Amino acid sequence: FTLKALSRFKKVIFSIEIEPDLSKVAVDIGQIQQVLMNLLYNSAEAIEKRILDMNENENSTYKGKIKIEVKSSGKVNQIVISVKDNGIGMSDEIKAKIFQPHFTTKETGHGLGLANCKTIIRNHKGEITVTSSPGEGTEFKIFLPTAESE
């Protein structure tokens, strides 16, 4: 199974960086996978939107990119997982609402994906944050306690 096999990821360049010798985290793997897939799908859609908004000259040089990083957060007993894209980005107004249940910017969305992500991360005693600029892209950071902090 690879993400490239899914059509929405065909035009995306992935990079993954995992810091060596990270402390272990105690998580429900299925739930964290659900969070990451939601973030990756949203990133791919943001890249698709950016491509659709471009003129032909811009589109010929633009490469949709998603970068995943896993590293120590700099705090004791905490790691951070970052999912960063160079998609369409979000305004401050949208950023303020994205974790609210039933808020969506999609025509076919239900607005539950990011609300569920926030709940899952909170249930793991973690935190999820977002930074974004219109036309520049978005970065979600998931902060999780390491197993040593339990």
Q: CATH no. for residue 27?
A: 3.30.565.10
With respect to residue 46, please indicate whether it lies within any of the assigned structural domains. Answer: yes
Task: Report if residue 47 sits inside a domain.
Answer: yes
* CA 49 and chain centroid, separation: 16
Helix (H) or strand (E) holding 115: helix 113-123
Q: Is the Cβ–Cβ distance between 117 and 38 less than 8 Å?
A: yes
Model confidence pLDDT, tens digit, residues 31-72: 999 999 999 999 999 999 998 888 766 667 889 999 999 999
**24 located within any domain:** yes
Average pLDDT over residues 120-144: 97
For the stretch 75-104, pLDDT in tens is: 989 999 999 999 999 999 999 999 988 777
What letters, b where the CB count within 10 A reaches 16 and e where it falls short, cover 87-115? bbbbeeeeeeebbeeebebeeeeeeebbb
| Residue 117 resides in a domain | yes
The closest alpha carbon to 81, from 3, 22, 140, 12, belongs to: 140
**37 backbone dihedrals φ, ψ, rounded to 5°:** -65, -40
Q: How many domains does the chain have?
A: 1
Model pLDDT, residue 1: 44
- As a whole number of angstroms, the distance between CA 107 and CA 126 comes to 30
Q: Are the CB atoms for 149 and 27 separated by under 8 Å?
A: no
Strand partners of residue 133: 137
Q: Is residue 1 part of a domain?
A: no
Question: Does any domain span residue 4?
Answer: no
Residue 116 lies in a domain: yes
Kindly report the pTM of this predicted structure. 0.88
Note whether residue 3 is domain-resident.
Answer: no
Question: What is the domain range of residue 72?
Answer: 12-149
